[in-house]
Amino acid sequence: MNTNPIPDPIQAGLASGWNVIDASALDANRQFEVDVAIIGTGAGGGVTAEILSMAGLKILLIEEGPLKSSKDFKMREAQAYPELYQESAARKTKDKAINIMQGRSVGGSTTVNWTSSFRTPEDTLHYWQKNFGLQDYAPQALAPWFDQMERRLHVTPWAAAPNENNDLLRRGAEKLGISTAVIPRNVNGCWNLGYCGMGCPTNAKQSMLVTTIPAALSRGAVLLTRTRAEKLNFKGDRVDSLSCVAISADGLAPSGKTITVRARHYVVSGGAINSPGLLLRSNAPDPHRILGKRTVLHPVVLSAALYDHKVDSFAGAPQSIYSDHFLNTDAIDGPIGYKLEVPPLHPLLISATLSGFGEHHSHLMKRFANLHAIIALLRDGFHEQSVGGTVELRDGGSPVLDYPITDFVWDGIRRALLTMVEIQFAAGAKIVYPVHELADGYTSWSSAKKAIEALPYKPLFTRVVSAHVMGGCTMSDDTKLGVVSSTGRYHGVSNLSVHDGSLFPTSIGANPQLSIYGITCRLASMLAQQLTGKPAPVL
């Protein structure tokens, strides 16, 4: 008997006859023939699937991760990270200096993200227009696409009071005259629990898992889970077929069964790192050797602090207050700017992120309820000394990101640590811990400032993390600058598109999901029209 009172749209859909195939259970190789094969079911793949299925096209969705639903989301890190994240939430850059979080289940990173929803900043779009010739990416031209996705995904500013973790950012910033604002979120009936990163247990988060993917499945799309797209096979200027492998039920290795897909058109939506990885494995045309380059991260640094009162940073909407005060202080291609937010603190993630070990670490973790953290997201990709990293293939064909942190970025990291620490003291922190292996806990702003100025800034000393991977399949109509055109079509291949965050020529300068929704909504609508010869449907 199901005692869970929360309606589960996935279980209901499966019961109604959705065509979902868990490839880990296949006992023979399989072949599929469809109009459009979409690789990846995250932000880009989900939006594309809904629009193309509304246009009447026969869609196959291919997802490496499992199909999980609210009945599986138990608010437990130990379960969520291996089941729902790339490399069990421990994906790292080649030198292991940056920890990268990306999703790996139906819904992709949207199933585990923290729901902050910002439109692409106008500065970013102007930069793309000027430097990548993306003339169609004017703020007013994109506005209707953002409107459409905001309506579809219930994006509205968070109306409830911020939790204490967020409010400390607001109060500390206010004392210093630093402006803050409320974050818009894609939620509908949110219970304010704070466990978005482990999959929403109430289905309030309007991720692709509960919105666009169910809509596509209800219109007859087929979903293959536990299926990794291995290689696009080219014939002349076309993709002839796609070779996939089934993945074992534990998600760790190929099961031995293969799946071959033939489609009129292929859309790669595996997200940054994985999309260029698939295209590199497939030897996709790359005459100017730019595939996988310009992969950007919003490198994130953090400062933790202890207060005399409880903060309970694990409870309540994870991100509801932000500040762009330090994002736009200079020209966009001047010294690197940064956005300030707070992260939800859960014991596994924060204990692995904080610096130090032994008694020092245990002392901090014992006071977990009083712990607060601020993050600074650096806006990379806009300056010649901040061109991002390069996706490479390991011997087995899996992708890895080589992301050297330049002195230009380190300078931003040092400035960001100073800002965050000053805000925490202004908010009443008793001890502040800039997260750096050689930093201490500081009890005054003056001692912290002196120490931060003197710290060495190099890989593996300062903790750097990212949950915003973008770029690697840069879009531009100039083939020397972009592997994909401004319409998302892969240059030199007539039936291949890329629809995900890997398209972006720079980082966004804001949490990227709404940029991906809006931009892929436009690209998928154009593709629907091209493939059907009819006006595209409106979501």
Q: Which of 18, 81, 114, 326 binds ligand FAD (CB under 6 A)?
A: 114
| Binding residue (CB under 6 A) for ligand FAD from 34, 38, 43, 373 | 43
Minimal distance in Å, beta carbon 366 to ligand FAD?
26
Is residue 153 involved in binding ligand FAD (CB under 6 A)?
no
Residue 428 Cβ, how far from ligand FAD at the closest point, in Å?
26
Per DSSP, the three-state class of 464 is strand
Does 468 engage in binding with ligand FAD (CB under 6 A)?
Answer: yes
Minimum CB–partner distance for residue 113 and ligand FAD (Å)? 3
User: How would you classify the pairing of strands 155-157 and 390-393?
Assistant: unpaired
Q: Residue 103, Cα to own-chain centre: how many angstroms?
A: 8
Pick from 66, 108, 316, 434: which binds ligand FAD (CB under 6 A)?
108
* Window 61-100: contact mask with ligand FAD (x via CB under 6 A): -xxxx-----------------------------------
Tell me how far, at minimum, the Cβ of 328 lies from ligand FAD, in Å.
19
Q: What's the rounded Cα separation, in Å, for the pair 446 and 75?
A: 39
Interaction between residue 112 and ligand FAD (CB under 6 A): yes
Positive or negative CA dihedral for 478, 481, 487, 489? positive
Dihedral through CA 340, CA 345, CA 349, CA 352, nearest 10?
80
Determine which residue in the list 116, 211, 424, 474 makes contact with ligand FAD, applying CB under 6 A.
116
Q: Pick the piece of the chain touching ligand FAD (CB under 6 A) from 41-49, 50-58, 443-451, 472-480.
A: 41-49
Which H/E stretch holds residue 363?
helix 358-366
Measured distance CA(488)–CA(521) in Å, rounded: 11
CB atoms within 10 A of CB 22: 16
DSSP letter (8 states) at residue 307: -
3-state helix, strand, coil in the chain (%, to 5): 30, 25, 45
Closer of 341 and 422 to ligand FAD (Cβ):
341
Among 280, 296, 452, 467, binds ligand FAD (CB under 6 A): 467
Binding site annotation covers 501? yes
Task: Check if the beta carbon of residue 84 is closer than 8 Å to that of residue 65.
Answer: yes
Which of 102-110, 283-291, 321-329, 474-482 is the region at the interface with ligand FAD (rule: CB under 6 A)?
102-110
Spell out, one character per residue from 471 to 510, where the chain touches ligand FAD: x when CB under 6 A holds, - when not: -----------------------------xx---------
Q: With respect to ligand FAD, which residue has the nearer C-beta, 108 or 356?
A: 108
**Is 513 one of the annotated binding-site residues?**
yes
Closer residue to ligand FAD in complex, CB, 110/241: 110
Contact 465, 99 (CB under 8 A): yes
Give me the least distance between CB of 1 and ligand FAD, in Å please: 32
Collapsed DSSP state (helix, strand, coil) of residue 529? helix
Helix (H) or strand (E) holding 348: helix 347-353
Give the Å distances, CA to CA, from 114 to 152, 186, 282, 317: 18, 9, 33, 8
Site string for ligand FAD, 324-353 (x = CB under 6 A): ------------------------------
The one-letter amino acid at 37? A
> Residue 17 annotated as binding?
no
If the CB atoms of residues 183 and 452 are measured against ligand FAD, the closer one turns out to be 183
Decide if 528 contacts 499 (C-beta within 8 A).
no
As measured in angstroms, the least distance from the Cβ of 159 to ligand FAD is: 17
Of the candidate residues 53, 180, 269, 486, the single one contacting ligand FAD (CB under 6 A) = 269
* Shortest Cβ 515–ligand FAD spacing (Å): 8
DSSP codes, 23-53: GGG-SS-EEEEEEEEEE--SHHHHHHHHHHH
Alpha helices, DSSP H only, in 17-155?
43-54, 77-84, 122-132, 139-152
Which letter does DSSP use for residue 223 in this model?
A: E
- Residue with the two structure tokens 């639903």: 69
CB of 230 to ligand FAD, least distance (A): 7
Sites of contact with ligand FAD (CB under 6 A)? 39-45, 62-65, 101-104, 108-110, 112-116, 197, 228-229, 269-272, 274, 278, 319, 467-468, 500-501, 511-513, 516
Instruction: Cite the annotated binding site by residue number.
Output: 501, 512-513
Instruction: Cite the annotated binding site for FAD by residue number.
Output: 501, 512-513
